[in-house]
Structure 1
Amino acid sequence: MDIPGPAPRADGGAGAVAAAGGLHAYQLWLHATYGPVVRFQLPGAETAVSVADPVLLEATAHLDERPERLFAFLEPLFEAGNLQVLPAGEHAPLRRLLLSVLAGRPSHERYFARFTELVTELADRWAGKAAAHEPVASQKDLTALSLRMICTYALGGASVDPDGVVAAFEEVLTEHLGRLYRVPQPGDGEERGRRARDALAYLRARVDEVIAAHRPGSRTDRSDLIGALVEAGESPARIRDTVMMTMLAAHHTTGVAVSWTLHLLGHHPEAAARVAGELDRVLGDRAAPEYADLRRLTYLERVLKESMRLYPPGPYGARLTTGALVLGDYEIPAGATVFYPFRALHMNPAHWPEPEKFVPERFAPEETARRPRLAHVPFGLGPRSCEGAALATVEAELILAVLLKRFRFRPVPGHEVIPVERFVLWAADDIRLLADPRTPA
């Protein structure tokens, strides 16, 4: 059976994506119009098939290759080959190493106290805004916080200048993502390019300083990312690339997820009150949780999951078929790009009744058990899913716990929040919120 989809366009599909307001919005329209499996055009992919059915997705979960052209924009950031499109045989051992460092409790506990300090510093700044009756720019502030957290983690807490690293990374991302999304930037393009190259060189030099402090066999902590890469015999260029990739993947995602969560709670005061009550019961008079407290914050966890269902930080993923693949009544040819439209998948009414509503109770254990395994995949799926998912969840829950213990958030009257695609699911003019100090019950 032929896969349904729109008629081919001479521009390779670029105009349709732009007219919809970005690829995530285009995929929502595609699946609403043509069903759970859709053929569509996309610059950089000869044949693209988008799948928004979690049962059919199971047949693609083994795919371990990514389409190179779609990730080519990242190549300037890497020295030892584009890590996002490494062949499966080369990617698998690197993934195992990353999971051994990023996914385990030792790494989360090692950095938890420092993460708490960083979140508390932000909360103190927001308290000053609240006292002056000024709104906070949650997206901007929280993405900056998440970058500081991942810099602390990726560089092992080494004594490099954190502000310098953050500023350099922002310089690199602003230039490269600005080119990708054709975002107008002030000033001379050649000068911006020079600054981005200098910033990238600065970042690599800082990582080299940390590498120099490691010697094979000297690693004593399982949470030491650079130490693990040195022990594995990776080259300095590959280590630098891996640190850069870790920072890139974690930079916006955690901060964006938290800012969307605060946005939703600002519009749903009953859910916000329930989170606040849970925090008061679990934490008592403490301003921040201990690591062990997170597992007791079950409603906070459901709120975060529901937020990432409605606003998944990464709005889509992509894999490459190496052989013909059968999905229900359809056959996808070898060499095709399979798209994972996370937002469309999360809005599938067959598995999410009234999908546009914010309902954290969807993630009660009995509700989760009724849904297919891949109905909710904010961190991707299969052998290319996010290795840092567990760490990102710990960071997000910690940030939310600290902020919601101290503040009640309200939307700024007249401020419109519009989702747009900027590598992550961004808000066009930030997510501005009023933070009111709260007194624990």
Structure 2
Amino acid sequence: MPDGGIDRIPGPPAGGDGVKAIVAAGGLHNYQLKLHAEFGPVVRFPLPGADVAVSVADPVLLEATAEINKRPEKLFEFLEPLQESGNVQTLPEDEHVPWRRVMLSVLAGRPSHEAHFAQFTALTASMADRWAENAARGPVELQKDLSELSLRMICEYALGNGLRSEEAAGRVVSAFEDVLTDYLARLYQMDVGGTEEERRVRSEEALAYLRATVDEVLTAHRERGTTEHADRSDLVAALVRAGESPARIRDTVLTTMLAAHHTTGVAISWTLYLLARHPEVAERATEEVDRVLGDRTAPDYGDLRPLSYLDTVLREAMRLYPPGPYGAREATEDLTLGEYTVPAGTTIFYPFWAVHMNPEHWPDPEVFDPDRFTPEASAQRHRFAYIPFGLGPRSCEGSVLAMVEAKLVLAMLLKRFRFQMAPDQTVTPVERFVLWAAEDIRMDLTPR
């Protein structure tokens, strides 16, 4: 029989300094791994912005939270500078449900993927050409280049025209970093360089640049007009047809740009990192790419499904290095989590990384083994044992698109290059809103 009282849930001593503990652990994702290793699958802990939160690393217990459609507003305040129509990450349910329906109608739809696939291919080919030209000059920085590529892809997708140069993409990436770094410094009281006033000025200038960039392309979009069925592949057109306000459309585009360029590029880079460390897996994945593509340097959209082993490689990489390492909900009614009762209003924390490293559901969890994701193996596993895109009605709307982009890019890069870790580097995962590598991931390329 569950016993009431959040204080019964195990965790660090009440009244502790949550910020200090998180910083000492190297970020919130590492802190979660430590907490669950010490206290078990359900942990109470002090979380900045939420006072006390309950973290759940057991996929079976996550079932009780799966239908919650509310995020804790304070935890997502850092996105408010990007929003004018109300934070799209914390919209109330009556606004969120129709907004999400529009987003999924485009982001998860095959017509939109096929409509943009040729441009995604061209952008990837351009980056690969640049890598090939510079291969003799030294290693590439995977996360820098792949995040910029992902940004250009999502801009082409969300805005109907891309950022047409690496310089423009790089400036947008830097602008997002300036805005979010200012928030990170204030939230965790971290020394990230510069004075508080210098960070504030950079953040305000960066935000103004981001808004101006999106406004410029939205104006061009309106002038160009849309066809009756364009909303099946055009995110802005779909939002317009749904009656969303211009401010909500801009907020949605900015949030989509932020989420997509951080997560997809990082997921691809961690996958290439693991392949470089496991040459036998890389060889198997490359053989599959060669078999499916033949003499072609890029897949067609229809080639993605036959790349089944590459799909397992990508999924296993996102298990070991989930791009977004956590999520959160706010309990809208009392919840039963195993032997505990969690009262309404409590922040429920989803530690994706700790869930993915739960040895009860992932034997030898630190081992890289793509065969965990064969259809047979996956069928034996709880549906919430693997949640790189979250779960329930607030899960990532762009998850299907992200997988399309990632498989396309990986197939093209494996077709053209062999990857080897550059010497004398230590790759350390750190929290930068996503699971980033502290000093990037430097890779030596050999053209095939």
Aligned partners of 1:119 and 1:145 also within 8 Å = yes
Of 175, 189, 192, which residue of structure 2 is paired with 1:184?
Answer: 192
Q: For residue 24 of structure 2, what is the amino acid of its counterpart?
A: A
The Cα of 1:368 is off from its aligned counterpart by: 0.5
SS of aligned partner of 1:48: strand
The reply to whether residue 139 of structure 1 matches residue 135 of structure 2 is no
Quick one: distance in 2 between partners of 1:203 and 1:232?
23
Q: Residues of 2 paired with 1:295 and 1:119: CA distance?
A: 19
- How far apart are the structure 2 equivalents of 1:335 and 1:379? 23
Cα separation, partners in 2 of 1:168 and 1:436, compared to 1, 3 Å: closer
Give, in whole Å, the separation in 2 of the partners of 1:248 and 1:380: 17
Residue 44 (1) aligns with residue 49 (2): yes
Distance in 2, matches of 1:161 and 1:279, equals 29
1:198-228: per-residue Cα shift (whole Å, max 9, x none)?
Answer: 3033124224314523769744351111111
**Cα deviation, residue 186, structure 1:** 5.6
Counting only pairs closer than 5 Å after superposition, residues 154-173 of structure 1 correspond to structure 2 as: 154-157=158-161, 166-173=169-176
* CA shift for structure 1 position 163: 5.5
Q: Deviations over 1:209-249 (max 9, x none)?
A: 14523769744351111111111111111111111111111
Contact 1:102 1:390 in 2 (8 A): yes
What is aligned with 1:320?
330
* Corresponding residue number in structure 1 for 2:345: 335
1:94 corresponds to which of 94, 99, 124? 99
1:65 partnered with 2:75? no
* Aligned counterpart in structure 1 of residue 391 of structure 2, from 362, 381, 384: 381
Assess if the C-alpha contact under 8 Å between 2:179 and 2:207 holds in 1.
Answer: no
> Is structure 2 residue 239 aligned with structure 1 residue 234?
no
Query: 2:37 matched to which residue of 1?
Result: 32
How is 1:56-135 mapped onto 2 (pairs within 5 angstroms)? 56-132=61-137, 134-135=138-139
For 1:204 and 1:357, how far apart are their aligned partners in 2?
A: 42
- Counterparts of 2:207 and 2:147, CA distance in 1: 22
How many angstroms does 1:10 deviate by? 4.4
State the one-letter code of the partner of 2:429. Answer: P
Q: Is this contact kept in 1: 2:21–2:31, CA < 8 A?
A: yes
Q: For the residues of structure 1 that align with 2:360 and 2:203, how far apart are their CA atoms?
A: 47
| Worse overlay, 332-341 or 178-187 | 178-187
Q: Which amino acid aligns with 2:77?
A: A
**Structure 1 residues 256, 146: closer, same or farther in 2, change over 3 A?**
same
TM-score for the superposition, normalised by structure 2:
0.93
Query: Could you list the per-position Cα deviations for residues 153-201 of structure 1 after superposition, in whole angstroms to 9, with x for gaps in the alignment?
Result: 010237x756675355324312211112226246944542442143033
Q: Is the 8 A contact 1:62 1:382 kept in 2?
A: yes
- C-alpha RMSD over aligned residues: 1.8
Letter in 1 for 2:31: Y
> What does residue 283 of structure 1 align with?
293
- Is the contact made by 1:323 and 1:335 (CA closer than 8 Å) also made in structure 2? yes
**CA contact 1:211–1:236 (8 Å) conserved in 2:** no
Name the residue aligned to 1:263. 273
Q: Per-residue deviation at 1:290?
A: 0.5
- Secondary structure, aligned partner of 1:339: strand
2:208 matched residue in structure 1:
198
Matched-pair contact (CA < 8 Å) for 2:82–2:207:
no
Structure 2: distance between partners of 1:216 and 1:408: 42
| Paired residue secondary structure (1:82) | coil
Structure 1 stretches of 5 or more lacking a match? none
Segment of structure 1 superposing worse, 201-210 or 107-116: 201-210
Q: What are the Cα deviations for residues 36-77 of structure 1, in whole angstroms up to 9, with x where unaligned?
A: 111111111132000001111011000110011110011010
Instruction: Flag structure 2 segments of 5+ consecutive residues without an equivalent.
Output: 186-190
C-alpha separation in 2, matches of 1:135 and 1:169: 24
Aligned residues: 435
The separation in 2 between residues aligned to 1:163 and 1:122, in whole angstroms, is 9
- State the 1:437 CA deviation: 1.7
Alpha-carbon separation, structure 2, partners of 1:416 and 1:122: 25
Query: How many angstroms does 1:283 deviate by?
Result: 0.7
Say which is worse superposed, 180-189 or 418-427, in terms of deviation. Answer: 180-189
Partner of 1:272: 282
Task: Report if aligned partners of 2:352, 2:387 keep a CA contact under 8 Å in 1.
Answer: yes
Selected match of 1:6 from 12, 15, 39: 12
Alpha-carbon separation, structure 2, partners of 1:69 and 1:177: 15
2:231 and 2:21 map into 1 onto residues whose CA distance is: 50
Contact 1:309 1:343 in 2 (8 A): yes
AA in 2 matched with 1:3: I
Answer whether contact 1:46 1:336 (CA < 8 A) is retained: no
- Say if 1:309 and 1:376, in contact at 8 Å, map to a contact too: yes
| Aligned equivalents of 1:22, 1:433: Cα separation in 2 | 25
Q: TM-score scaled by structure 1?
A: 0.95
Please say which of residues 246-255 and 268-277 is displaced more in the overlay: 246-255
Cα distance in 1 for residues equivalent to 2:170 and 2:140: 20
